[in-house]
Amino acid sequence: MIEDVDPGMSPSNHNSENSSRGYIVPIGGAEEKFDNPEILDRFIDICGGKKARISIIPTASELAETGRNYEKLFRKIGIQHAQVLQILTRKDCQASEHLDYIEKSDGVFMTGGNQLRLSTTLGGTPVAQMIRRRNAKGMHVAGTSAGAAFMPEHMIAGGDEGSTPSPAMVTMAPGLGLTNNFIIDQHFRQRDRLGRLLTALAYNPFAVGIGLDEDTAAFIRPGDNLEVVGSGGITIIDPSNLSYSSMDRARRGDPVSLIDVKLHILIAGGKFEIRSRKAFAENATAE
């Protein structure tokens, strides 16, 4: 039976004291799938191992085989209960079979593609509400590339490459809303996206920016503390002590000045605490 989903469930309900919330696992895209699928193995592990039930949502992709490829991959790793939910339209987001499967799942995995396909198809629907509600009660949610960008309340929908922030460098849209503490960008180093993440944060320096390299994931546990898994790095941008910004008077195409922004580069094993805003190297222990 489908649980009663509260459409008003918001990221503020997922506060730092909510120890029952499931993990949020944004992946930077191009994760290793065959030789050493460390990120996927870790996701399966937190979902309960090979007996876990995984819902695969391929909505972001325009390729018909994307979902089936991940289904085959999860089954090759040893998951018997991995199922593609063919959600292509907003009507599909009301299908009882999809809602039933998510309700019984230990984890949801959203594939890459175009994050606007996710937001325009899932946004405000029973499927989105179910994912948020189940994550708040312990189900783990992972997303790669577009699936990662879609996770937070504020989603980077697109933008330009480059290292210097500029007012027109990024387009924002509402995301899934699993957290409002982070803004996430992916393929970060490979596609030179520092400027657009800085621009997104400059509009409202409330959230922390997470820039994910390819084959790299942030395992964000209840309480919004994260650990880095994978072969690349994660760029953490903390604007909480921003003392000056020229964003409010910059014109389209102008560079933007930002002073007292803190930046960390973390590799596998590195950690970041959202409450203390402290970063820890891979060989250090978070307090």
Active site residues: 145, 187, 214
Q: Which DSSP string do the residues of the chain spell out, in sequence order?
A: ------TT--GGGS-TT-TTPPPEEEE-SS---SS--HHHHHHHHHTTGGG-EEEEE-TT-S-TTHHHHHHHHHHHHT-SEEEE----STTGGG-HHHHHHHHT-SEEEE--S-HHHHHHHHTTSHHHHHHHHHHHTT-EEEEETHHHHTSSSEEEEEE---SS--TTSEEEEE---S-SSEEEE-STTTTT-HHHHHHHHHH-TTSEEEEEPTTEEEEE-TTS-EEEEESSEEEEEE-TT--EE-GGGPPTT----EES-EEEEEETT-EEETTTTEEE-TTS---
